[in-house]
Every structure is written in structure tokens, then in C-alpha cells.
Homo-oligomer: A and B are copies of this chain.
Amino acid sequence: MSGTTSKSAKSIEKVYDFVVKYIHENAMSPSVRDICAGSGLKSTSSVHAYLKKLDEMGRIEYRPGLRRAIILKNQDQDTDEDRTEDINTDIIKLPCIGKITAGVPILAHETYSDDFFYINRSMIDGALNEDEAFVLKVKGDSMIDAGILDGDYLIVRKQSFCEDRDIIAALIEDEATVKRYGKLNGKPYLFPENEAYAPIPFFGENCRILGKVVGLHRYKIS
């Protein structure tokens, strides 16, 4: 293929890929024999040798003697460099706000941002910078008619204003919600996109716009 490395390079990658896949699928390490079955290798000793190599390479951590004890290591050096070269220009990292703590202006500073989302900046209409947006997880079905389902992740551009018919993230009485903004008899309301819910008055002191929804990610298809 790419030079002197032939079969072996292929096998070791197969082993590694399978280990990664298995751990992601099963939430636990495969056994050597599992890897045999998954990688096409027929001898446990071959797999064993590759695991040792992968451990030496630092790609996995491998505890001798223990059963199902392979741990994936962070590929921080190699892969990240490769990635960020391509990515940096076009990928931005957004904090995922899991919980909206009551009353606190969480959005000014990322008070809670262990979780991050990576998105393609250029996909977003009027591209974003990292500190101009955040991600919010949807709870409930009040927006299903807009194609926004329970469990979806919304990319929200921080802004304190919006236009008519925009879908926005807002704070009402310290509770975060996602709805469509609009007016009724001249007064602002938030409209669910689900017949089962009624419009919510959106005026007064405790109403605040967090931002406009500009993107959506979904990873639970059902």
C-alpha cells in the first residue's frame, strides 16, 4: 500500500478499530478472543502481540493479567494535530449547557461547560464565533411540529432580540424554553409548535431572550 508496511499494518489497525468499536458498543473491553473473531485473526497470540504493540504505542492501555482490561487512551498528540489542521478553520467548539441554573446569567460566562459540541462554522447562517453561541438539549415535545424532538441538541446564537417567527431559546421565570416568537394582538407570545400546548405570554420582567436557534443536532433516531 503505502510503502513497506503491508499486512501487518493492516492487521494492527483492524485490531485497534475493533477494540474501539467494541468498547463503544459494549461499554466494556473485548477479550482477546473477541478480538480474534472481530479482526479476522485466528490466533490469540497474534492478537496478543498486537495489543502489546498498541500499548507500547500508547494507543491503548493494557493491564497484563486482567480480563477485559483494555482501556482506550486519548490520542491527543497525533490525531489531534492532524485534525486541528483541517478543522481549525472551520470547526468551532461550543459549550453544552445542560442545566439552566436559576436566575443566573449563565450565558455570559460559561459557568458550566464540561461538555462541548463541535460544529461546522460555515454551515451556520452568518457564521459564528466560539463565544457567540451555545448548545442546549431539548426536553419535551412542545416543538415537534417544527421538527424539533425530545433529546435534540440545539445550537443557539446568543442574542437578546429576535424577529417575528424566529425560533428562540428564552428564559421565563428562570426556566429555559424553546419556542417560536410571535405576536398576538400586538403583544409578544411564545408559540409552541404542537397543538396540545397553548401560546405563552412573553412580556413582563421575568422574560428574557437567550438567543436564536440556528442549528440542530439529533443522535437519537426512532
Those of A161-214 within 8 Å (CB) of chain B? 167, 213-214
Identity of the chain B residue whose Cβ is nearest the Cβ of A77 in the assembled complex = B98
CB A14 to nearest CB in B, in angstroms, measures 11
Whether B89 pairs with A80 at a CB distance below 8 angstroms is yes
> Which of B28, B90, B98, B144 is close to A69, meaning CB atoms less than 8 Å apart?
B28
B residues within 8 A CB of A27? 71-72
Complex: how many Å from CA A86 to CA B89?
A: 15
Whether B29 pairs with A28 at a CB distance below 8 angstroms is yes
Whether A86 pairs with B93 at a CB distance below 8 angstroms is yes
Interface string of A83-104 (1 = CB under 8 A from B): 1111111110100101000000
> Beyond A147-B149, A217-B215, A217-B217, is A68–B118 a contact (Cβ under 8 Å)?
no
Asked if A218 CB lies within 8 Å of chain B CBs, one says: yes
Chain A at the B interface: mostly helix, strand, loop or mixed?
Answer: mixed
B residues within 8 A CB of A147? 144, 147-149, 152, 218
Whether B127 pairs with A221 at a CB distance below 8 angstroms is no
> Which of B24, B74, B118, B221 is close to A167, meaning CB atoms less than 8 Å apart?
B221
User: Which residues of A are in contact with B by a Cβ distance under 8 Å?
Assistant: 17, 20-21, 24-29, 31, 66-72, 74-76, 79-81, 83-91, 93, 96, 98, 114-127, 129, 144, 147-149, 152, 167, 213-221
Give 18 A-B contacts (CB < 8 Å), ordered by A residue: A24-B122, A24-B126, A28-B68, A84-B115, A91-B91, A118-B118, A118-B119, A123-B219, A124-B219, A125-B219, A147-B149, A147-B152, A213-B221, A214-B221, A216-B219, A216-B221, A217-B217, A218-B218
